[in-house]
């Protein structure tokens, strides 16, 4: 139980005894006291002024005096500044927290609450490799799932593979025309890169053919459609939908190459899924959704046979849910899949991690699902995130500025190696240990940089900036953890016993570190409520910075007394546990030494 959750009932009880009022806990505004004032936590008093017909200063003094007198084990002092009651928590309380939790690697972890949550993320197309934008998606989805799991939820991680459609057919046609039977194995190429190269080649050939047609007088849009290679791709799609055996065999073979490549990337970056859905198996689910919608009169049919829903009363517009040729559109596929997921898993919440370009789509998906009465529809949540840009601007596939995910990881490893060697502190590492260290630093830097920004915001990624051992980065926190572990190893060598003490007076920086540690479970709760891993990233950075300030000012192994030495070792151990836990929820490993 956090300190704030302990303070609130005491304040409510005091208000009842003093004034005969019993506000709800949610009506009390309590926050950390600002650094310029004395105290640890502050109660805002203005909401009581009108009801009690007293000045905030008088109310604050009366409440403060009563809290300190009744709870001397928790409150050491109070002061009132204008409309704010600042409460100082006793050192005894903070030390009890330390002694109870300093050896607990799962501090803040909650027991299972019986609530099920599905998190869908990644969702790649099978015609090209994962790119930098996919990395933000994967890191965000994985981290949100792990934070929810830590908070007591049963989690199901899923992925929808977009494995059908014209884009896949483009790669297939290009391979038929230019592949000469080549395979990923015969060329030594990673499967997803291999197929992606043919998708790019399709685009090159398409442009050539368009240029020839335009020279013959065709307008650009018509030339785009009439280019022979595009017609071949369109025919390939028709043949696929008709189930033509040779087309299906080619499709399965090329997709298998892509999946093998994806698996390598997922393993490298630490993404995993409990179940992968395939659009080729789910796109027909939309037909049932349309039938249900027509039967329930949620949808209506136009004269040309197309099926629509009128959402104008909901502030939107009319939306087609089935084309006149009877084929489903994306929204109906998603509705059908949402219903299937609910039948399979029965989750109370279903989180879709998809870029903000699809905000409208998911607003419509939730609205239609609710109108159709799909169980769990009210739990549909779009975790919308901003696109990742480079210092040179937005990435664009057609202009060749998309950053391949595998290439990015390798570049980060190279930067990590160079920056670490600059520090010159790894001479006693073996070759294998160095390889592991560079990988840990590189992926830690990449994940932290992409997760430290609020998901809703667009961001610019700079590889060099992300690996700065002194900045707002993953490596700074990793280095702090390694530093703490070094101190603890020295403590272990000296046979330190870690005897609990509750009578030690805390110095300012010792208390500041303890207060920060105690707030970890609260931060997890906030990250869960907001689906926002950046809160944990910022917390981990601030905790590491607080520890470094404390460590610079106060020696641990050469403390002024054995009592202080024991206290600071416990502080160090708890800090290491919390840093490792917070970074772990971001998918980041922390090394024992650097």
DSSP structure string for 425-494: --TT--HHHHHHHHHHHHHHHHHHHHHSS-TTS-EE--HHHH--TTSSSHHHHHHHHHHHHHHHHHHHHT
Of 148 and 287, the one with more pLDDT: 148
Split at pLDDT 50, 70, 90, the class of 501 is low
Element (H, E) at 13: helix 3-19
Residues 84 and 208 in one domain: no
How far apart are alpha carbons 457 and 451 in whole angstroms? 11
Are 15 and 63 spatial neighbours (Cβ–Cβ below 8 Å)?
A: yes
The answer on pLDDT for 322 being more than 80 is yes
The answer on pLDDT for 296 being more than 50 is yes
Asked if residue 46 is part of any domain, the answer here is: yes
| DSSP type of residue 586 | T
Are 578 and 536 spatial neighbours (Cβ–Cβ below 8 Å)?
A: no
Split at pLDDT 50, 70, 90, the class of 389 is confident
pLDDT of 499: 58
With a pLDDT cut of 70, the percent of the chain lying above it is 97
pLDDT of 156: 98
Q: How many CB atoms lie within 10 A of CB 497?
A: 9
Average pLDDT over residues 406-422: 91
Average pLDDT over residues 128-145: 96
Residues 203 and 71 in one domain: no
For tokens 């502030």, what's the residue?
315
If phi > 0 it is left, if psi is from -120 to 50 it is alpha, else beta; for residue 345 that is alpha
Are 39 and 86 spatial neighbours (Cβ–Cβ below 8 Å)?
A: yes
How far apart are alpha carbons 492 and 485 in whole angstroms? 10
Q: Tokens at residue 431, please?
A: 């070759």
Q: Which of 429, 338, 445 is nearest to 381 (CA)?
A: 338
The answer on pLDDT for 497 being more than 60 is no
Split at pLDDT 50, 70, 90, the class of 325 is confident
Q: Tokens at residue 368, please?
A: 């239609």
Split at pLDDT 50, 70, 90, the class of 206 is very high
Q: How many CB atoms lie within 10 A of CB 483?
A: 18
Average pLDDT over residues 326-348: 91
Residues 83 and 174 in one domain: no
Split at pLDDT 50, 70, 90, the class of 395 is very low
Average pLDDT over residues 201-208: 96
Residues 581 and 481 in one domain: yes
Q: Tokens at residue 135, please?
A: 């990395």
The answer on pLDDT for 506 being more than 70 is yes
Average pLDDT over residues 311-340: 90
Q: How many CB atoms lie within 10 A of CB 462?
A: 11
Q: Which of 309, 305, 364 is nearest to 338 (CA)?
A: 364
Residues 425 and 513 in one domain: yes
Indicate the residue among 60, 89, 118 that finishes a domain: 89
Asked if residue 528 is part of any domain, the answer here is: yes
Q: Tokens at residue 140, please?
A: 């965000």
How far apart are alpha carbons 308 and 325 in whole angstroms? 13
How far apart are alpha carbons 328 and 288 in whole angstroms? 10
Asked if residue 138 is part of any domain, the answer here is: no
The answer on pLDDT for 41 being more than 70 is yes
Average pLDDT over residues 307-332: 90
pLDDT of 495: 57
List the beta bridge partners of residue 281. Answer: none
Per the prediction, the chain carries an average pLDDT of 93
Q: What is the pLDDT of residues 514-559, one digit of tens each?
A: 999 999 999 999 999 999 999 999 999 999 999 999 999 999 999 9
Split at pLDDT 50, 70, 90, the class of 513 is very high
Asked if residue 111 is part of any domain, the answer here is: no
Residues 579 and 431 in one domain: yes
Q: Tokens at residue 282, please?
A: 């789910």
Asked if residue 229 is part of any domain, the answer here is: yes
Where residue 442 sits, what CATH number does that domain have?
1.10.730.10
Task: Say how many domains are in the chain.
Answer: 3
Split at pLDDT 50, 70, 90, the class of 393 is low
pLDDT of 468: 84
Residues 433 and 579 in one domain: yes
Indicate the residue among 89, 121, 143 that finishes a domain: 89
pLDDT of 399: 42
Split at pLDDT 50, 70, 90, the class of 496 is low
Split at pLDDT 50, 70, 90, the class of 93 is very high
Contacts of 152 (CB under 8 A, 6+ apart): 110, 111, 112, 113, 115
Q: Which of 186, 220, 227 is nearest to 204 (CA)?
A: 227
How far apart are alpha carbons 285 and 301 in whole angstroms? 19
Q: What is the pLDDT of residues 252-267, one digit of tens each?
A: 999 999 999 999 999 9
Asked if residue 355 is part of any domain, the answer here is: no
Structural domain range at position 424: 406-585
How far apart are alpha carbons 422 and 425 in whole angstroms? 9
Angle between the N-to-C axes of helices 431-451 and 405-423, in degrees from 0 to 180, rounded to the nearest 10: 120
**Taking the mean position of all CA atoms in its chain, how far away is CA 497?**
39
pLDDT of 498: 53
Residues 33 and 175 in one domain: no
The answer on pLDDT for 30 being more than 70 is yes
Residues 434 and 577 in one domain: yes
The answer on pLDDT for 398 being more than 70 is no
Residues 410 and 502 in one domain: yes
Indicate the residue among 231, 256, 271 that finishes a domain: 271
Q: Tokens at residue 125, please?
A: 């197309």
DSSP track, 350-402: EEEEEEGGGHHHHHHHHHHHHHTT-TTGGGEEEEEEPPEEETTEE--TTTT-P
3-state SS record for 70-127 = HCCCCEEEEEEECCEEEEEECHHHHHHHHHHHCCCCCCCCCCCCCCEEEEECCCCECC
Asked if residue 420 is part of any domain, the answer here is: yes
How far apart are alpha carbons 168 and 188 in whole angstroms? 22
Asked if residue 259 is part of any domain, the answer here is: yes
pTM (2 d.p.): 0.93
For 370, the 3-state DSSP assignment is: helix
Are 332 and 322 spatial neighbours (Cβ–Cβ below 8 Å)?
A: yes
Contacts of 562 (CB under 8 A, 6+ apart): none
pLDDT of 466: 87
Q: Which of 588, 590, 567, 579 is nearest to 520 (CA)?
A: 579
Q: Which of 346, 369, 366, 360 is nearest to 293 (CA)?
A: 369
Q: Which of 553, 547, 549 is nearest to 576 (CA)?
A: 547
**Taking the mean position of all CA atoms in its chain, how far away is CA 39?**
34
Average pLDDT over residues 210-228: 95
Q: Which of 6-20, 356-370, 451-465, 504-518 is least confident?
A: 451-465
């Amino acid at each position: 139980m956090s300190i704030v959750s302990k303070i609130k009932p005491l304040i409510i009880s005091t208000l009842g005894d003093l004034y005969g009022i019993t506000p709800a806990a949610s009506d009390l505004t309590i926050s950390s006291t600002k650094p310029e004032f004395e105290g640890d936590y502050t109660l805002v008093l203005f909401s009581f002024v009108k009801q009690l017909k007293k000045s905030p200063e008088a109310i604050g003094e009366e409440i403060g005096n009563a809290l300190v007198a009744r709870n001397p084990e928790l409150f050491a002092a109070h002061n009132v500044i204008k409309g704010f009651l600042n409460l100082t928590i006793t050192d005894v309380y903070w030390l009890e927290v330390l002694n109870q939790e300093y050896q607990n690697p799962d501090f803040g972890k909650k027991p299972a609450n019986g609530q099920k949550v599905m998190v869908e993320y990644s969702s790649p197309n099978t015609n090209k490799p994962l790119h930098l934008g996919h990395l933000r998606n994967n890191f965000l989805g994985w981290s949100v799932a792990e934070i929810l799991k830590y908070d007591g939820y049963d989690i199901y991680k899923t992925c929808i593979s977009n494995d059908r459609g014209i884009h896949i057919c483009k790669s297939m046609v290009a391979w038929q025309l230019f592949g000469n039977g080549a395979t990923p194995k015969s060329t030594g190429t990673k499967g997803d890169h291999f197929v992606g190269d043919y998708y790019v080649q399709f685009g090159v050939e398409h442009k050539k053919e368009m240029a020839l047609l335009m020279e013959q007088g065709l307008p650009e849009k018509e030339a785009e459609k009439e280019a022979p290679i595009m017609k071949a791709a369109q025919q390939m799609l028709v043949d696929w939908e008709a189930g033509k055996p040779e087309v299906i065999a080619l499709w399965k073979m090329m997709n298998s190459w892509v999946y093998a490549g994806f698996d390598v990337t997922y393993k490298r970056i630490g993404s995993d899924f409990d179940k992968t859905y395939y659009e080729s198996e789910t796109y027909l689910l939309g037909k049932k959704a349309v039938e249900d919608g027509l039967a329930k009169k949620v949808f209506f049919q136009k004269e040309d046979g197309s099926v629509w829903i009128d959402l104008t009363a909901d502030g939107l517009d009319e939306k087609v849910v089935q084309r006149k040729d009877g084929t489903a559109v994306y929204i109906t596929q998603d509705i059908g899949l949402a219903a299937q997921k609910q039948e399979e898993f029965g989750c109370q919440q279903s989180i879709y991690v998809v870029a903000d370009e699809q905000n409208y789509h998911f607003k419509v998906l939730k609205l239609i699902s609710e109108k159709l009465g799909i169980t769990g529809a009210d739990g549909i949540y779009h975790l919308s995130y901003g696109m990742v840009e480079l210092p040179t601007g937005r990435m664009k596939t057609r202009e060749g500025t998309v950053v391949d995910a595998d290439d990015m990881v390798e570049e980060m490893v190279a930067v990590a190696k160079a920056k670490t060697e600059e520090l010159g502190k790894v001479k006693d590492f073996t070759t294998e240990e160095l390889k592991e260290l560079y990988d840990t630093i590189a992926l830690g830097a990449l994940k932290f940089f992409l997760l430290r920004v609020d998901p809703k915001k667009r961001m610019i990624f700079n590889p060099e900036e992300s690996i700065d051992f002194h900045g707002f980065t993953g490596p700074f926190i990793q280095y702090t953890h390694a530093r703490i572990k070094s101190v603890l190893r020295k403590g272990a060598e000296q046979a330190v016993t870690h005897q609990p003490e509750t009578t030690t007076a805390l110095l300012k920086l010792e208390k500041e570190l303890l207060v920060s540690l105690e707030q970890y479970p609260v931060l997890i709760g906030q990250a869960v409520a907001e689906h926002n891993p950046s809160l944990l990233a910022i917390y981990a950075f601030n905790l590491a910075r607080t520890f470094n300030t404390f460590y610079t000012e106060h020696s641990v192994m050469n403390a002024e007394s054995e009592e202080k030495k024991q206290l600071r070792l416990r502080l160090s151990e708890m800090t290491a546990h919390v840093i490792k836990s917070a970074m772990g929820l971001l998918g980041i490993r922390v090394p024992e030494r650097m």
